[in-house]
Structure 1
Amino acid sequence: MLTDAKVRTLKPQEKSYRLLDAERLYIEVRPTGKKIWRFKFTLHGKEGTISFGEYPAVTLVQARKLKDEAKAKLAAGLNPSEEKKKERQEKQLAVKNTFKEIAQEFVLEKMKYKSSDYVERFNTSMQKDIYKEIGGLPITEVTSAHILKIMKNTIQRVQSQPNHGTGEAAANLNRRFIGLVMRYAIVTLRTDNDPTYALRGAIESPEVEHARPLEKHEKAVLREKINSYGGTTTVRNAILTMLYSMLRTVEIRRMEWAFVDFEDKIIKFPKASRRNKQERTMKKNRTHVVPISTQLYELLQQQKTITFDQRYVFASPYKRDCMLSRTTLNKMLTYIGLSEVTAHDFRATASTELNGLGYKSDWIETQLAHADDNKTRASYNHAKYLNDRIKMMQDWANIIDSWKE
């Protein structure tokens, strides 16, 4: 039998040679000086060998232990060399099947037709909160405990930032994003369990504060503050366009110059299309036509001198060909002293006032791009009541301007 001292003093020769330890375990000394542990075995009448690694990284004691493990496999009718290959392949597969690898694959395969804004939110959540906890884990090892920890850490992160809320909504969004990846992994046979399911309702989001119409004094302050706003012209114009058009924040941000028709005085938001590689532009995926009032026409002409060489009408002042960030418009309202007002309140204000003035609710609901219960009919109704809405939107622009008087 070999000893560690003897193995340590073995010298290379012109040709490789072998020294037996016991039970067909031997060390092979190569001309390069490498010393490799090998075990020779017989299974089903056929001989084979398996390498246990290089000395001294693998000691004599470790080599003997690996030999005993190989013998146990032989006793069970298993080929230790084939089993070693399987284990190596499983380890390689585990590296490829980490949560991060599958999440990145999910983005490429399943989010190619999502809006760039939505993909950005997904990737930001992954980078800020999720990868640091489970990115390197094999997806089969991700548990509900990991995800709950991510959710709690997300709440702490959000609460540590001023004016970012209490964090429950962000935590639940992270849970939903993780769930998308887990269910994709189930479909692609990388795991068989979605641990996010058990966490539904684990963290309750605060009650949603629905949009409300502005008070009379808020209208006057808003109109005055917009005119005297000291920030960028693009942000000021974006807020004012939201008032004039009754569009949502996301629709203002996604508005492209290609949608604006100065000749016909309309803004036409197209429906998302895979064929034409058109991203979603509306909250509800449908075509939507917005009449351009005289005030909005003049505003867009002014904005044209600022961003007409870019894709978006209200492009980010700091990143070329990028949208305004999701929080910019609400932050502007806080900046001008209207922290109790949200951009969505503009739509509630328009709906309340126009209904009160006797405009038909169908015109108002169409202008707000609210969902039609009949999806087939809705897909053809994007220009519905257009002549009536042209007059209504001009009246509405005049009303807005009267707030400053």
Structure 2
Amino acid sequence: MLTDAKVRNAKPRPKTYKLADTNRLCLMVTPSGGKLWRWNYEYDGKNKTMAFGAYPRVSLADAREKRDEAWSMLCEGQDPNVAKRLKIEANLEAGRQTFERVAREWHENAKAQWATIHASDIIRSLERDVFPTIGSLPIAQLTPPLILGVLREIEARGAIETAKRVRQRISAVFVYAIAQGIATSDPAEKLGAVLKPLRKGRQPAITDLVPLRRMILAAEEDNARPITRLGLRMLALTAVRPSELRGAHWAEFEDLDGKLPLWRIPSARMKGDLDRKEEKGGDHLVPLTPQAVAVLRAIWPLTGGGPLVFPSNRHAHRPMSENAIGYLLNRAGYHGHHVPHGFRAAFSTIMNEWAERHGDPHDRKVIDLMLAHVPKDKVEGAYNRAAYMPRRRELATIWADLLSEGLPDPVALVDRPVKEIGMGSRRRLPAPVEPDFRFPRQRRGAQ
């Protein structure tokens, strides 16, 4: 039986020799002075040898511990050498299963249940906020503090709601990984409790008409892209959800040269579950006022050659950033006072107050319909989304007239100074070429 002293004092000889310990463990001493731990065992009728490393990196106690672990595997009918190789391969495979790799698999598997624009928003949020920090790390080795660090960075820029959505998406990736046997737990599951709370009540919104006009004027003075300025104006005029505006296709607009211009937002792009998105006749109909059509006329020379009305600056096939209009409002000094979604609250508040003084008895339900709200006493699939269209058009016109007082013509927003990306200089876009305003009505395919 070996002792620490015997192992330490073993000297090299002209030929390799062995010093035996208990249960077939031995120390192999080479002529060059190397001291290697070896364990001999029998498996399936064959004599085999297993290496446990070199002394002094592996001490006598360490070697005996490794021998005992291997002996336990042998008693359970496993070949310790094979088990060791399988463990190494499993560790290598775990290293290959990075968070980004698994997240992209999860997204590809789940995206069929989402509207196309929503699916794109999800993967872009991961690409922007998550992959740069933890995307290259093995998903099985991620811990709650690592995930929390990612979320704190999002919170630090004031995007509290985005941080909560990203946590949910990270958690969904881990649920997928657990089901695939890639991870054993979800380190993001409990982090919602330690994130900063959202503001109580509704999202920040200015709901008084004069301050609202003042805010739009201030934002439109910013040296943003014309597409962003015009997007802000269109959002204010139509009170659609920001995601619905960003994903707008020219093919969704009808009769822009006629008397009844309309924006038909496909049900697949509307907020709701899969049944809502697949609902027949579930398109949201937005009657367009002359002011809204004027916005489209102003932007047509800029984006009319592509499918999207409000494309990204860098990628014409992608919608503008989900943060573009929000950042515009922040730069104008309205951070924490008004968000893009706040135009819906402004429209609802101002128009309901107007309806109480000047409107018809059923105008409140018409306003809710214009906001794509389904009354609680209605079944979603049975709801008539085309109801009250003449009155909806009248109320939309009243809103546009109230809102647009004192605002410049949309075409003036195109020629205002623009800041070059990555540069401090300012430039002016060339004046747009006056198009043939037979608008996308002539370009639309069969709907």
TM-score for both structures, normalised by structure 1: 0.74
Residue in 1 that maps onto 2:373: 370
Stretch deviating more after TM superposition (18-27 or 196-205)? 18-27
In 2, the alpha carbon distance for the partners of 1:378 and 1:195 equals 38
Opposite residue 373 of structure 1, the aligned amino acid is: K
1:168–1:206 contact (8 Å) kept in structure 2: yes
1:4-403 alignment, distance < 5 Å: 5=12, 41-43=41-43, 46-50=45-49, 52=51, 69-70=66-67, 73-74=70-71, 77-78=75-76, 79-111=79-111, 113-114=113-114, 115=118, 116-131=120-135, 135-136=137-138, 138=140, 142=142, 146-148=143-145, 150-151=147-148, 154-155=151-152, 158-159=155-156, 164-165=157-158, 168-208=160-200, 210=202, 211-222=204-215, 224-225=217-218, 230-262=223-255, 265-272=261-268, 281-284=269-272, 285-286=276-277, 287-339=283-335, 340-355=337-352, 356-357=354-355, 358-359=359-360, 360-373=363-376, 376-378=379-381, 381-403=384-406
CA offsets 1:212-235 (integer angstroms, 9 cap, x no match): 443343144245446655533212
Determine what percentage of the aligned residue pairs are the same residue: 18
For these two proteins, the number of residue pairs brought into alignment is 367
2:209–2:350 contact (8 Å) kept in structure 1: no
Opposite residue 326 of structure 1, the aligned amino acid is: E
TM-superposed CA distance for 1:301, in Å, is 2.3
Inter-CA distance 101–38: structure 2 relative to 1 (3 Å threshold): farther
Q: More relative contact order in 1 or in 2 (CA 8 Å, sep 6+)?
A: 2
Inter-CA distance 393–84: structure 2 relative to 1 (3 Å threshold): same
In 1, the alpha carbon distance for the partners of 2:131 and 2:165 equals 14
SS at match of 1:111: helix
1:172–1:203 contact (8 Å) kept in structure 2: yes
Inter-CA distance 87–226: structure 2 relative to 1 (3 Å threshold): closer
Residue in 1 that maps onto 2:4: none
Give ranges in structure 1 of 5+ residues lacking alignment: 11-17, 30-35, 273-280
Opposite residue 347 of structure 1, the aligned amino acid is: R
In 2, the alpha carbon distance for the partners of 1:385 and 1:248 equals 21
Question: CA RMSD, aligned part only?
Answer: 4.0
TM-superposed CA distance for 1:5, in Å, is 4.2
In 1, the alpha carbon distance for the partners of 2:140 and 2:168 equals 19
TM-score for both structures, normalised by structure 2: 0.67
